[in-house]
Amino acid sequence: MTRTPSSDTAPLRFGIVLLPNFTLTALSGFLDVLRLSSDEGDHSRPVRCTWQVIGETLSPIRASSGVHVSPSARFDDAGQFEYIVVVGGLLHSSPEISPATLEFIRAAGKSEATLVGVCTGAFALMRAGVLNDARICVSWFHYWDFLEQFPHVTPEKLVADRLYVFDHRRITCSGGRASIDVAAAILTRHIDPSIVRKALRILQVEDLDRGNAPQPHPPGLAPATHPKVKRAILLMEQHLSHALTVDELARKLDMSVRQLERLFKEATGSSPQAYAKAIRLRIAGWMLRHSDKTVSAIASSCGFSDASHMGREFRNAYGLSPGAYRAAGSAGDAAGTSSAVPVADGGVPGPGPDDYGEVYPGRTDFY
């Protein structure tokens, strides 16, 4: 159901909560969609919607880029909003979220407002206990961080292959460029979609309905690779220890097994099963070189039935046993050489073991 605000229609109200070291791109993208959709022409008046940065105090809040943004109202004085948008950013080098901020989020969760977590804002919503049993969208980059911080979360509820997820009055978004998409999707619930499309054209953005679009990872694929294949590979990486069957994968992607296998063959030259095994072997190789976990533990983490199973597959892919590969990797590090990359049945190799250090910097485990 949509409505077009007129002179006697109250504008849609957005309260923006910025967390320490928030991502400026996520904030500016979201706000510019509101600004351009709110008014005609180039006036940027808050006619169809209003927005206000609110905080515990009026002190400036630092973005991860170093830019500071000052709230215009304190939590207690901010009034009522239809949407409370929590914008996060850096996870590991930011101050703790203040108790007052968490309490404000909890109170908003009990109101009629819809809560929106942008970027790592979903972490704050979870910490405040307002996500309940909702499905949660996070960036692929922070998927493992989320499970590490909140091990009680059912992985099936965690979505890291799409740009955003709407679940009743809880909305979560992967951040970055996707903040534009989620703002547009919210506004089309309330105003004429043609107005939102016009705003997106001004921002040089196409494709209004991108709810099923994949996040931009993984590397190693051609830019024109089918979105369903990209999403499939993201799902493979996120189900390492309990690999999805082809039937399960197809069901998550809302397509038939035959369609999935055809698209995969066209994009990668291999079957989904072979590609998934190659991913597990690459990550196993990376863990052998960058962690001190036993071969048995790595086998379990990467979805192999036991160390012997992983050993057989490893020899086929690398020509070495896991132990020999680990030793050769240490020697290769000292000599400045790199290790081989297993290829999925003639398909594209994608990221090799060493590349996971860049894809997941600092990580030595997968949860």
As beta bridge partners, residue 15 has: 52, 84
Can you spell out the DSSP letters for 116-138? EEETTHHHHHHHHT--TT--EE-
194 and 262 co-located in one domain: no
- Which residues of the chain, if any, have pLDDT below 70? 1-8, 207-214, 216-224, 330-367
Give pLDDT, residue 32: 95
Give pLDDT, residue 209: 53
Q: Is residue 207 part of a domain?
A: no
Give pLDDT, residue 355: 55
235 and 341 co-located in one domain: yes
258 and 180 co-located in one domain: no
Using CA atoms, how far apart are residues 280 and 219, in angstroms rounded to an integer?
A: 15
Give pLDDT, residue 95: 83
Q: Is residue 354 part of a domain?
A: yes
Write the DSSP symbol of residue 157: G
CATH of the domain at 249: 1.10.10.60
Give pLDDT, residue 4: 43
Q: Is residue 247 part of a domain?
A: yes
Q: Is residue 210 part of a domain?
A: no
Handedness of CA 64, 52, 215, 286 (dihedral sign): positive
165 and 229 co-located in one domain: no
Contact 105, 130 (CB under 8 A): yes
237 and 93 co-located in one domain: no
290 and 154 co-located in one domain: no
pLDDT tens-digit map of 307-351: 999 999 989 888 889 999 888 876 555 444 445 555 545 454 444
Report which secondary-structure segment, H or E, holds 274: helix 272-290
Write the DSSP symbol of residue 10: P
Strand 164-167 and strand 170-173: pairing? Answer: antiparallel
- Which of 177, 202, 227 is where one domain is finished? 202
Q: Is residue 212 part of a domain?
A: no
Overall number of domains in the chain: 2
Using CA atoms, how far apart are residues 132 and 109, in angstroms rounded to an integer?
A: 10
How many alpha carbons lie under 13 Å from residue 233 in its C-beta half-sphere?
Answer: 27
Treating both helix axes as pointing N-terminal to C-terminal, what angle do 322-335 and 272-290 enclose, rounded to 10 degrees?
60
- Which of 175, 202, 229 is where one domain is finished? 202
190 and 246 co-located in one domain: no
Q: Is residue 301 part of a domain?
A: yes
24 and 152 co-located in one domain: yes
Give pLDDT, residue 338: 47
Contact 87, 16 (CB under 8 A): yes
253 and 349 co-located in one domain: yes
Q: Is residue 1 part of a domain?
A: no
CATH of the domain at 156: 3.40.50.880
At residue 120, φ and ψ (nearest 5 deg) are -85, 15
- Which of 202, 230, 249 is where one domain is finished? 202
Give pLDDT, residue 210: 62
181 and 234 co-located in one domain: no
41 and 17 co-located in one domain: yes
Give pLDDT, residue 7: 45
Residue burial 88-105, b: 16+ Cβ < 10 Å; e: rest: bbeeeebeebeeebbebb
How far CA 222 is from CA of 46, 216, 219, 267, 270, in Å, comes to 41, 11, 9, 8, 15
Q: Is residue 321 part of a domain?
A: yes
195 and 225 co-located in one domain: no
Range of the domain at 364: 217-367
Three-state secondary-structure class, residue 154: coil
pLDDT tens-digit map of 105-148: 999 999 999 999 999 999 999 999 999 889 999 988 888 889 88
